[in-house]
């Protein structure tokens, strides 16, 4: 299966590349898999910092610089028509253009059949076995003159429903497939293995968000065409560690305050002009961004408490001369000091979650839940017992992984900066 090309690109200026994304596999479990003897021919895995909310469509559209998805999940709130759209019907029938959340899917050479996207959470073992066999056969039958990009969703379902033990069985099978591919393709094919987000392992409790807010006088509706005082909507779907709330923008501060004493809430985010407000049980802070000469700077200002637990890092930055007289620090310095923080890359990541277009229909309030808590579609929650989940801004969900058979990659990589390492 020798690769011979002319000019530039795969097989000429660099090896042909197999890109393989494993949905929901956290960095820490890949480290453990390597300690068990798997993926021995790969270089050390980098920590790939997934954007908040830590969800597939948000992450992959950022990593591949694709068009933003309509919403955070398949059920979303349309801020133009002021109503909920999408949902479980996305998984019925065939994959038509209206069921493709982002143009990153146009880059995929392999993904599971549409129905498997939902079945993976009902019968995850059956789905991953079929998924891996189908991927292997299609890859080995593909042209050897081009890169190949595959996305395996079964790993996410395994972790959500079955936990790490079943995931390691799947990774062992995958390792055998990749060893076979390496034997057939040789050094002329680089394998780049990565994930879209991490996962918090352990039992999960549902946050009673709707009941709590209704007691606070809020009313949940499906349409905000004629919003009344204290009305809101949330596209609750997957069982994840975040929630997106839509309301009258003027009521966002009041809504965030109403969540302060709800068990399971870590913090809420909402816009304050060009800035970001962070409000949670641990305090309130303002995140500001400024740009000078094409460079980006951030400032973290506390009103009370320290919701992002950055006080000690602010002191380190100031002691090292990394903050200016107004308290702003360069984006790269904030990244360097917070990449391993409990909230990785905290300022840029959270600021971008509401002040950039990670999705087309951005929430008015984004809520990050504590590890061990989730919110979502109550009917789905009655069907399954979660062994793990993701979605919040904490490290377990934020730390995806990235590793290559041919290259040593940086210790950590932002999702927004991953594409050159994947596609170029």
Over the stretch 94-149, which tens digit does the pLDDT of each residue have? Answer: 666 665 678 999 999 998 876 666 666 777 777 888 889 999 999 999 988 899 99
Is 93 inside a domain boundary?
no
Q: Are 246 and 271 in contact (CB under 8 A)?
A: no
Is 375 inside a domain boundary?
yes
Is 121 inside a domain boundary?
yes
Is 319 inside a domain boundary?
yes
Q: Are 310 and 338 in contact (CB under 8 A)?
A: yes
Residue that is written with structure tokens 């530039």 in the block: 8
Residues 272 and 132 grouped into a single domain? no
Tell me, what's the pLDDT at 97?
63
Tell me, what's the pLDDT at 4?
41
Q: Are 280 and 264 in contact (CB under 8 A)?
A: no
Tell me, what's the pLDDT at 390?
96
Residues 313 and 301 grouped into a single domain? yes
- Number of CB atoms found within 10 A of residue 3's CB: 17
* Mean pLDDT over the full length of the chain: 91
Tell me, what's the pLDDT at 424?
81
List own/partner pairs for 248-257 with CB under 8 A and 24 or more apart.
248/224, 248/364, 249/364, 252/364, 252/365, 253/277, 253/279, 254/230, 255/213, 255/218, 255/364, 255/365, 256/365
Pick from 238, 234, 229, 186: nearest CA to 209: 234
Give the C-alpha separation, 118 to 374, whole Å: 18
Residues 183 and 300 grouped into a single domain? no
pTM above 0.85, yes or no: yes
Residues 377 and 343 grouped into a single domain? yes
Give the C-alpha separation, 354 to 102, whole Å: 18
Pairing state between β 83-86 and 399-404: unpaired
Is 339 inside a domain boundary?
yes
Residues 209 and 347 grouped into a single domain? yes
Number of domain units in the chain: 2
The 3-state DSSP class for residue 102 equals: coil
Residues 310 and 324 grouped into a single domain? yes
Query: What DSSP character marks residue 311?
Result: H
Tell me, what's the pLDDT at 6?
42
Is 260 inside a domain boundary?
yes
Residues 181 and 226 grouped into a single domain? no
Q: Are 388 and 159 in contact (CB under 8 A)?
A: yes
Residues 222 and 165 grouped into a single domain? no
Residues 329 and 316 grouped into a single domain? yes
Q: Please count the residues of the chain.
A: 424
The ranges of the chain with pLDDT < 70 are: 1-9, 11-12, 88-100, 114-120, 378-383
What does the pLDDT look like over 197-232, one tens digit per residue?
999 999 899 999 999 999 999 999 989 988 789 999
For 132, the domain range is: 16-67+102-202+390-422
DSSP readout, 122-163? TSHHHHHHHHHHHHHHHHHTS-TTS-EEEEE-HHHHHHHHT-
Residues 162 and 234 grouped into a single domain? no
Tell me, what's the pLDDT at 77?
94
Tell me, what's the pLDDT at 48?
98
Residues 286 and 342 grouped into a single domain? yes
Is 4 inside a domain boundary?
no
Specify the CATH number for the domain of residue 123: 3.40.720.10
What are residue 327's DSSP bridge partners?
none
Residues 349 and 397 grouped into a single domain? no
């Amino acid at each position: 299966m020798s690769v011979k090309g002319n000019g530039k690109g795969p097989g000429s200026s660099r090896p042909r590349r197999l890109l393989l994304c494993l949905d929901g596999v956290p960095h820490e479990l890949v480290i453990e898999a390597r300690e068990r003897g798997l993926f021995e021919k790969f270089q050390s895995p980098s920590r790939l910092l997934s954007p908040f909310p830590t969800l597939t469509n948000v992450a992959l559209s950022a990593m591949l610089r694709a068009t933003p998805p309509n919403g955070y999940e398949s059920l979303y709130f349309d801020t133009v028509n002021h109503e909920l759209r999408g949902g479980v019907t996305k998984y019925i029938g065939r994959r038509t253009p209206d069921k493709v959340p982002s143009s990153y899917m146009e880059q995929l050479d392999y993904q599971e059949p549409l129905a498997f996207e939902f079945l993976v959470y009902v019968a995850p073992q059956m789905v991953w076995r079929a998924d891996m066999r189908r991927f292997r056969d299609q890859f080995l039958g593909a042209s050897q003159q081009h890169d190949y990009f595959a996305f395996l969703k079964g790993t996410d379902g395994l972790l959500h429903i079955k936990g790490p033990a079943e995931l390691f069985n799947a990774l062992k099978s995958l390792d055998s497939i990749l060893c076979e591919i390496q034997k057939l393709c040789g050094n002329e094919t680089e394998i780049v293995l990565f994930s879209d987000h991490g996962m918090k392992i352990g039992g999960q409790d549902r946050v009673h968000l709707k009941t709590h807010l209704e007691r606070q006088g809020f009313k949940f509706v499906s349409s905000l065409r004629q919003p009344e005082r204290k009305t809101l909507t949330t596209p609750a779907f997957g069982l994840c560690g975040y929630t997106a709330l839509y309301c009258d923008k003027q009521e966002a501060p009041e809504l965030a305050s109403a969540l302060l004493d709800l068990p399971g809430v870590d913090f809420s985010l909402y816009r304050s002009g060009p800035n970001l407000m962070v409000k949670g049980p641990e305090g309130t802070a303002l995140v500001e961004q400024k740009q000078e000469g094409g460079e980006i700077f951030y400032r973290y200002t506390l009103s009370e408490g320290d919701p992002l637990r950055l006080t000690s890092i602010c002191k380190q930055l100031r002691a090292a001369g990394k903050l200016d007289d107004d308290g702003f620090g360069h984006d790269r310095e904030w990244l360097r000091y917070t990449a391993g923080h409990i909230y990785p890359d905290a300022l840029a990541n959270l600021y971008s979650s509401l002040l950039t277009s990670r999705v087309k229909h951005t929430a008015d309030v984004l809520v990050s839940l504590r590890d061990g808590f989730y919110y979502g579609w109550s009917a789905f929650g009655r069907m399954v017992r979660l062994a793990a989940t993701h979605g919040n801004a904490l490290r377990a969900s934020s730390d995806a992984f990235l590793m290559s058979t041919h290259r040593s990659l940086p210790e950590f990589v932002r999702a927004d900066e991953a594409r050159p390492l994947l596609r170029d």
